[in-house]
A and B are shown apart, each in its own frame.
Chain A
């Protein structure tokens, strides 16, 4: 399988002397489900932010589908973000809006016809087990349901790479299992996933590659 993502000696320092990531190199194959773990402050979120291009590395280079992220112009970032989706621990949903409206946002941005948007939203909501909840305002949902809405929004435009930063951090064990099942299903359909978590229970017995970060350094490159 070809690489979808490659990091070459990536470091990120914050002033004055914070070393968030130090000389990190690894690659991710297309269709892989990769876990990144480590204690709080190990650099997991920084790593995902660099891949998402919301931050730039201090040194080193990140390649997405063979193209260095540093070569993306500002005007190209929105297009990059249509290929890389992000699932956040705090969901980042519009609580006043309905489930349908939240999930439809990426498709509206793409300017798809309304009928196509409706069709795809209904399909993805069925996939994440939220059929019939389209008109419900997000504020009325439980944490697990909110994360499923966030997941639906993240995958609705069929991204090539899905990043998830502690996606189960706010969920109880049952909801965590539900969400992880959806991740597995998405991966089975071909979506490449990088999931950052400090919770070992998420990747134990899943037989997936796990990268361990500690104080910004990769312990098992």
Chain B
């Protein structure tokens, strides 16, 4: 109770400064959370799309069922492969009929004209895309295989975009950390320099550095917690607003944007609190040397 009272009295020494510091940290965290929110949604979106990544292995005609089974088994043994589906020439023709609205395009096409296909899907398409050229080349060397195809270009681009956003988030994390430590450090230093006389007196009457430092650290931790909660709340409101806007723009947009889970939000709040503690510890230490 006494500690809380001392922390409040610490905050009261420069309320304007502490309020400004909380708002600036809120802004920093909000910028970072906003980038994180964009990354989260693009990641979610790209994973949804990438789930449709398949490797089409066009087989030579007149292959025996045994050869096809062997190839299927060898593919299923690969760690990255989620499943293999076989489509015979007639099934391929049926698929094409579903695909084309204008059925006249397929008039006169015999099933024997189309090669049978093995469709390979992957557990983690973004990890699989790195090894895909190698896999495709090795499959093409098989005597049973006519040709291997996959939508490489867009997947590589999508994977590149994810990497870029990852890098952006990491840079944001670093900048956020640096800015938070600096802001909190400066606030604490300003408020301590205003209280230099009091600190001197406290040290003269035998106050330990801990006695002086603990309320300062408590105030900084509270500032960090309030700032990160405010930032998360602000970006959650942005999410609600964007959900409404995107629903109007794309009627097929039904799932809505995704937001951080409880664990992620907890980690963010704890991270900001730790950064605030570090900043205030670093700033107050120099005033507490005996």
Alpha-carbon distance A184/B2, docked complex (angstroms):
36
Contact B202 A105 (CB under 8 A): yes
Across the interface, which residues of B come within 8 angstroms of A77, CB to CB?
Answer: 290
Alpha-carbon distance A79/B289, docked complex (angstroms):
14
* Given A74-B290, A77-B290, A78-B290: A86 in contact with B198 (beta carbons within 8 A): no
Alpha-carbon distance A38/B209, docked complex (angstroms):
36
Residue of B with least CB distance to A154:
B205
Chain A nearest Cβ from B201, distance in angstroms: 6
Contact A105 B290 (CB under 8 A): no
Contact A92 B207 (CB under 8 A): no
**Contact bitstring A100-119, B, C-beta under 8 A = 1, else 0:** 00000110111100100000
Contact B200 A78 (CB under 8 A): no
Across the interface, which residues of A come within 8 angstroms of B171, CB to CB?
Answer: none
Chain B nearest Cβ from A162, distance in angstroms: 13
* Given A78-B206, A82-B206, A153-B205: A109 in contact with B211 (beta carbons within 8 A): yes
* Given A74-B290, A77-B290, A78-B290: A105 in contact with B201 (beta carbons within 8 A): yes
How many A residues touch B, CB cutoff 8 Å?
Answer: 22
Q: Is B197 an interface residue (CB 8 A)?
A: yes
Contact B290 A94 (CB under 8 A): no
Chain B nearest Cβ from A120, distance in angstroms: 14
Chain B nearest Cβ from A121, distance in angstroms: 14
Alpha-carbon distance A94/B198, docked complex (angstroms):
7
Q: Is B112 an interface residue (CB 8 A)?
A: no
Chain B nearest Cβ from A91, distance in angstroms: 10
Contact B197 A81 (CB under 8 A): no
Across the interface, which residues of B come within 8 angstroms of A105, CB to CB?
Answer: 201-202, 205
Across the interface, which residues of A come within 8 angstroms of B193, CB to CB?
Answer: none
Alpha-carbon distance A68/B185, docked complex (angstroms):
37
| A-B interface contact total, Cβ < 8 Å | 47
Q: Is B245 an interface residue (CB 8 A)?
A: no
Contact B197 A94 (CB under 8 A): yes
Contact A92 B200 (CB under 8 A): yes
Contact B204 A81 (CB under 8 A): yes
Q: Which A residues between 100 and 157 are near B, CB-CB below 8 angstroms?
A: 105-106, 108-111, 114, 153, 157
Across the interface, which residues of A come within 8 angstroms of B198, CB to CB?
Answer: 94
Chain B nearest Cβ from A71, distance in angstroms: 15
Across the interface, which residues of B come within 8 angstroms of A82, CB to CB?
Answer: 205-206
Most chain A CB within a 10 A radius of its CB, from B2, B205, B207: B205
Q: Is B91 an interface residue (CB 8 A)?
A: no
Chain A nearest Cβ from B7, distance in angstroms: 14
Contacting residue for B205 out of A74, A106, A111, A114, CB 8 A: A106
**Contact bitstring B273-290, A, C-beta under 8 A = 1, else 0:** 000000000000000011
Across the interface, which residues of B come within 8 angstroms of A81, CB to CB?
Answer: 203-206
Across the interface, which residues of A come within 8 angstroms of B149, CB to CB?
Answer: none
- 22 A-B contacts (beta carbon < 8 Å): A74-B289, A78-B203, A78-B207, A81-B203, A81-B204, A81-B205, A81-B206, A82-B206, A85-B205, A86-B204, A92-B201, A94-B197, A105-B201, A106-B206, A108-B2, A109-B202, A109-B207, A109-B208, A109-B211, A111-B2, A114-B2, A157-B206
Q: List 10 other contacts, CB 8 Å, given A78-B211, A86-B204.
A: A78-B207, A81-B203, A81-B204, A81-B206, A92-B204, A93-B201, A106-B206, A109-B206, A110-B206, A153-B205
For the complex of A and B, the 3 pairs showing the least CB-CB separation, nearest first, are A82-B206, A81-B206, A106-B205
